[in-house]
Chains A and B, each alone.
Chain A
């Protein structure tokens, strides 16, 4: 197994005399087996920055690259960013580095060549396809109100419209929560957060990046007609490292290291809440408990073949005890075991064969549990086709065995019983998918990715086939200016209001949901490491089961209305990495989400015309960092016309609830003991202003989440 070099010494480069403005230099470094830099060649960049970076790089120290645990010579590309500090001159301590500029931390390395004992590592930023917003953990760590959880940061991305502030259920470009799929390292998971509003179900240190595919996603993703949230986990590492946290409500830790001379890696992590104990002091009749775990083992069979096992799960439990009888108010759990075999192809590219086993369970009303035992296999191939094209293809098959407890105590005449049993009967669901796309460089400046996805769905005795063509185009008009266009279709079986573990609508009742999603965007790199993206999107939804968006609030949740709809709008995303001394972003979405049911057309139940998120983080010096975030949502439509009766109606031009805003803040003091070991004290609060939100005329909240704790790593 190959492990790339890792920086061990500071890589800040003093801002050169005679320079002005921001600049970027790419160096090609050859790193000796002892970690010293043998040579540094300038691949791109202007003077005086190039010379400054080159001479500084010769003094850097690296942990050497290893193959099967043995140190080796390596060649890497390394990007050094220079930022002119004019308005933001820090009153910092001398050791803080700098005087002017520093090297940007390298993005995740990507292997591209393996030859003659020298590995080449490309550290240029990943070029993301259109319609993807990506959040890296290093940046999310600094985001106020996200509590260091990459998943929690999704709500700041453009196109994301929350149902209620602080709750992680949202519309994405007009697509309802039931049409948003969650994946962790390619494995579908039913939910991302403990007890709905709690921390994420995966230790943050395991998550390298979270991608939000807002529509017209690559062919790899399917079976969801709205959006896909895909978390990529960190690459296995052979050096022992770890992270831990102790907070008011929970404790978490993650440790990883190598064995057998670096051929194998092992990781264990998890989080455990002691809220049950806390609640028992404050309110003995309430019990709240959550926990999650992750474990991963990889082993290199040889240079090209690796096997691995990735297991994770989460558990949530909320109950109330009355008369010494404990009644479960909310209970959910899911577990996954994913066994993989990875093969690096001789001509470049890779192949993954994986089998997934899973178990989901949820407590629904009347003391019943619903559950799903799933078995899935998938095959994923990435294969270069010459110098200008890469084939990505795969297939997967999945089987879900759904079952539900019968109502032990129920009125047999209650239509709810019959409706529930009809909607969620015990049965086996199946899905078979094949997909392929080609990332094709037509020209150094034009990249086209045509793709096709075929899905077959079966549930009970019903079955359906869908064909989803996709197309993405990226055009580099000039340095720093890029066009991003995408269009694609997606299909999905009927879905429930929100994703619930072990609960899925049966028999493809009413047919598949369909969407046609398109977007056109411009990405502009601005001075001071700032990037601006403007995207216009238009999504058309057909045969949707969007109960939240269509039905009056008092309608029966077991009735699935079908509707047409669209989501149209413009997104603006202006950002400067929060990892910089002064970083921040502005994310604004202007949109309209419309639904049609029968003869009526009206705004979707959670259509919010304006959604604004902004954040600012500043390094105060002496390892103090402070950040604040401002969120503003315009109000959703109300259902009832004033003075209406019990069954409300949705009007074409409804009155709306008032707008909502909130402020989050974060304060961190970090102590660094060496390059990797640190301890941090973090105080954070979501909705520090304790604002309440009005939904359908009802005041909600304030949903405010405080957090105070210690974080550490080595």
Chain B
């Protein structure tokens, strides 16, 4: 009887004693702030726009994956607040949403948590197994875009943007159906005047912060890679060498682009990665210069992206 009682007590108490002896603390960090990141397309992306040379451009589809919200320490020199603290990252997101921004409205990109002065990084990327389908995007989109392949600029990668549509002027119709495979990691997004950074947030315990991103499809049609440059379509229409009414990448790759030297801020601009042609072709202008401008913080200037080949 005594043995049985002892055995029963031991079986109950021994595991409890071991658990009580554990030393690893629980999560006793203070309450963080939440950071809600959203994205919405410009009206031009959704409904089309008119270029300075009289073309009516309208996207049929503008399918792109956005996500991977990370919190980082602000880069030295960007911090204008000397008393700012460093960043405590509590929770980041490791996935992305796939949207067709022709039909998407203001959409969620991710919910992160942290404390301190944090830089909010995000990515325009190819879809993965962790991609969540958002407004307008279909499983077929995902399955097509997740396939790796080459283009003129990338040897092997998923598709990161599908932009299809047409431009019309005076009865002439020119189609475009462009796939982009390079992806961008946005680390630093300056303000419009370039004097501050707009993707930094001060996260205080219990607070609710937000960051709004914007998809600007029209940026693909900038004559030059700066905000004051006009939106044009004539050079693209002129690149339709075979006159079949559709402008393809091989045609863009041999069409001339407006020289950078004519730009208002030409002295300050550095392309994010190498052009294929020298001088740059119209394809280079769209793929290298303008593509980086498509995603940015709402109200801010174009971000300074890193061409990203690695996944997490």
Q: Are A361 and B24 within 8 A (Cβ)? A: yes
User: How many whole Å from A693's CB to the nearest CB in chain B?
Assistant: 20
- The residue from A322, A325, A646 contacting B309, defined by CB atoms under 8 A apart: A646
> Which chain B residue shows the least CB distance to A367?
B27
User: How many whole Å from B86's CB to the nearest CB in chain A?
Assistant: 5
Any B CB within 8 A of the CB of A375: yes
In the docked arrangement, what's the CA distance between A645 and B311, Å? 10
> Which chain B residue shows the least CB distance to A642?
B155
Residues of B near A599 (CB, < 8 A) are: none
User: How many whole Å from B143's CB to the nearest CB in chain A?
Assistant: 14
Interface centre among B10, B24, B116, B157 (most CB of A within 10 A): B24
For window 3-52 of B, CB contacts with A under 8 Å fall at 10-11, 14-15, 18-19, 21-27, 29-30, 32, 34
Residues of A near B34 (CB, < 8 A) are: 409
Q: Are B116 and A645 within 8 A (Cβ)? A: no
Main secondary structure of the interface of B (DSSP, over half): loop
Any B CB within 8 A of the CB of A317: yes
- The residue from B21, B90, B108 contacting A409, defined by CB atoms under 8 A apart: B90
Q: Are A332 and B130 within 8 A (Cβ)? A: no
Any A CB within 8 A of the CB of B180: no
Known contacts being A332-B24, A645-B309, A647-B311, is A325 close to B115, with CB within 8 Å?
yes
Any B CB within 8 A of the CB of A335: yes
- Number of A residues contacting the other chain (C-beta, 8 Å)? 50
Q: Are A415 and B132 within 8 A (Cβ)? A: yes
User: How many whole Å from B160's CB to the nearest CB in chain A?
Assistant: 10
- The residue from B15, B85, B91 contacting A359, defined by CB atoms under 8 A apart: B15
- The residue from A358, A405, A415 contacting B130, defined by CB atoms under 8 A apart: A415
In the docked arrangement, what's the CA distance between A647 and B309, Å? 8
Any B CB within 8 A of the CB of A327: yes
Residues of A near B93 (CB, < 8 A) are: 411, 414
User: How many whole Å from B61's CB to the nearest CB in chain A?
Assistant: 23
Residues of B near A337 (CB, < 8 A) are: 14, 18
Q: Are A559 and B309 within 8 A (Cβ)? A: no
Known contacts being A416-B94, A646-B158, is A357 close to B18, with CB within 8 Å?
yes
Residues of B near A367 (CB, < 8 A) are: 27, 29, 90
Residues of B near A641 (CB, < 8 A) are: 156
Known contacts being A339-B10, A414-B94, is A361 close to B309, with CB within 8 Å?
no
In the docked arrangement, what's the CA distance between A408 and B158, Å? 33
- The residue from B15, B25, B110, B158 contacting A357, defined by CB atoms under 8 A apart: B15
Residues of B near A371 (CB, < 8 A) are: 19, 22
Any A CB within 8 A of the CB of B95: yes
- The residue from B87, B110, B310 contacting A646, defined by CB atoms under 8 A apart: B310
Residues of B near A333 (CB, < 8 A) are: 22-24
Any A CB within 8 A of the CB of B80: no
User: How many whole Å from A340's CB to the nearest CB in chain B?
Assistant: 13
> Which chain B residue shows the least CB distance to A361?
B24
Q: Are B21 and A335 within 8 A (Cβ)? A: yes
Residues of A near B183 (CB, < 8 A) are: 646
Known contacts being A317-B24, A367-B29, A554-B310, is A646 close to B155, with CB within 8 Å?
no
User: How many whole Å from A466's CB to the nearest CB in chain B?
Assistant: 27
Known contacts being A335-B21, A359-B22, A645-B157, is A368 close to B310, with CB within 8 Å?
no
Any A CB within 8 A of the CB of B113: yes
User: How many whole Å from B180's CB to the nearest CB in chain A?
Assistant: 13
- The residue from B18, B90, B132 contacting A335, defined by CB atoms under 8 A apart: B18
Residues of B near A413 (CB, < 8 A) are: 95, 108, 111, 132
Any B CB within 8 A of the CB of A643: yes
Residues of B near A374 (CB, < 8 A) are: 15
Residues of A within 8 A of B (CB): 313, 315, 317, 322-323, 325-328, 331-333, 335, 337, 339, 355, 357-359, 361-363, 366-369, 371, 373-375, 405, 407-416, 554, 556, 559, 641, 643-647
Residues of B within 8 A of A (CB): 10-11, 14-15, 18-19, 21-27, 29-30, 32, 34, 85-88, 90-91, 93-95, 108, 110-113, 115-116, 126, 128-130, 132, 148, 154-158, 181, 183, 308-312
20 contacts between A and B (CB under 8 A): A315-B24, A322-B86, A325-B29, A325-B115, A328-B25, A331-B25, A337-B18, A359-B15, A363-B24, A366-B91, A369-B27, A373-B18, A415-B129, A643-B155, A644-B156, A645-B154, A645-B155, A646-B126, A646-B157, A646-B311
Instruction: Identify 8 new A-B residue pairs, CB closer than 8 A, beyond the known A411-B95, A415-B132, A646-B158.
Output: A328-B24, A366-B91, A374-B15, A407-B91, A409-B32, A410-B111, A413-B95, A646-B308
